[in-house]
Amino acid sequence: MQTHLRGRDMITTQEWTKDELDTVMDVALDLKRKRAMGVPHAYLRDKVLAMLFFFSSTRTRTSFEAGMAQLGGHAQFIESSTTQISHGDTAKEIGEILGRYNDGIAIREVTWGVGNKYIVDVAESSRVPVLNMQCDFYHPFQALADLLTIIEQKGDPRGLTVDVSYAYASSYQKPLSVPQSLILLLTRYGANVRLTHPPEFKLMPDIVEQARENARRARGSFELVDDFDAGFQGADVIYPKSWGCTLTTPDLEESAEISKQYTDWIADERRMGMAHERAIYMHCLPADRNIEVTDGVIDGPNSRVYDEAENRLHVQKAVMALTL
């Protein structure tokens, strides 16, 4: 249990030690238990979290707002396009000023080539912790929620086979941040991680190398797979979701056209039958139903998507309670 986390940023889990991440899991489980039993836990009374959004949200906004309220504080919603941020407020000014008004700053900015740099720049100018609610590179709180779900459902991740896979979706070209954060975090915990994707949908090479090194240090494994069915074979955890081929082309329309080659990359009942008999299906949501995943899978007995979504609340509360 680490007790020195007050004031720490959470921009990527790679910047936290495994002991520190274990502390997040411990505190998240304690807070989850307290909420289930109706035990008050207003650890952040009178504290305010500024939540700055450049990108629409459902689970992220509602879970952070609910979490701050349950911790006795207040979440301040700030939409970039309806403030002076859209007219010239710089990252330095946001860090300096919101860091003086508030006790923490949380930011969601997923614009490719912009988001992570903006969050880092705000953090450099802020006197309070900065939390990454999702950027173009990382989605740390989703990965932490996924880790907590795997621990609850499957036990110690060490030795589990986890398939982090691309799947087709028609809604929009989604960021790389979820699969990148997943492969970074799960390899820290000794899981046998498969990264499955078509050749055009590769992830950032330096992040893939970090995941490979994480696996070596934790004595797990990390492998690249280019066959959708092969990724399911014998897996304990199935996590197929869409992302754009950003590293192949920055053009979203071209990315959408390329993705149409892979409309058969859908999580369905036949493929779930190829996984371990007690495998669980996970997705960060929202999923493109009957395009990315069939109703039979996402609503089926192997699905843990709602437990996973709930755990966003608990891990975020844990990080806020520890850092703010």
In tens digits, the chain (324 residues) has pLDDT values of 999 999 999 999 999 999 999 999 999 999 999 999 999 999 999 999 999 999 988 999 999 999 999 999 999 999 998 889 988 899 999 999 999 999 999 999 999 999 999 999 999 999 999 999 999 999 999 999 999 999 999 999 999 999 999 999 999 899 999 999 999 999 999 999 999 999 999 999 999 999 999 999 999 999 999 999 999 999 999 999 999 999 999 899 999 999 999 999 999 999 999 999 999 999 999 999 999 999 999 999 999 999 999 999 999 999 999 999
Residue 41 lies in a domain: yes
Reduced to 3 states (helix: H, G, I; strand: E, B; else coil), residue 303 is strand
Instruction: Check whether residue 116 and residue 29 sit in a common domain.
Output: yes
Instruction: Check whether residue 122 and residue 217 sit in a common domain.
Output: no
Instruction: Check whether residue 51 and residue 153 sit in a common domain.
Output: no
Instruction: Check whether residue 255 and residue 277 sit in a common domain.
Output: yes
Which CATH number characterizes residue 187's domain? Answer: 3.40.50.1370
Residue 123 lies in a domain: yes
Query: Can the peptide bond before residue 286 be classed as cis, meaning omega within 30 degrees of 0?
Result: yes
Residue 6 lies in a domain: no
Instruction: Check whether residue 206 and residue 121 sit in a common domain.
Output: no
Cα end-to-end distance, the chain, whole Å? 17
Residue 2 lies in a domain: no
Instruction: Check whether residue 75 and residue 18 sit in a common domain.
Output: yes
Instruction: Check whether residue 184 and residue 280 sit in a common domain.
Output: yes
Instruction: Check whether residue 146 and residue 93 sit in a common domain.
Output: no
Instruction: Check whether residue 185 and residue 298 sit in a common domain.
Output: yes
Instruction: Check whether residue 133 and residue 18 sit in a common domain.
Output: yes
Residue 56 lies in a domain: yes
Question: How many distinct structural domains can be found in the chain?
Answer: 2
DSSP string covering 177-189: HHHHHHHHHHHHT
The torsion region of residue 285 among left (phi > 0), alpha (psi -120 to 50) and beta comes to left
Instruction: Check whether residue 168 and residue 22 sit in a common domain.
Output: no
For residue 258, the enclosing domain spans 142-308
Residue 204 lies in a domain: yes
Instruction: Check whether residue 185 and residue 118 sit in a common domain.
Output: no
Nearest to 236 by CA among 167, 186, 179, 175: 186
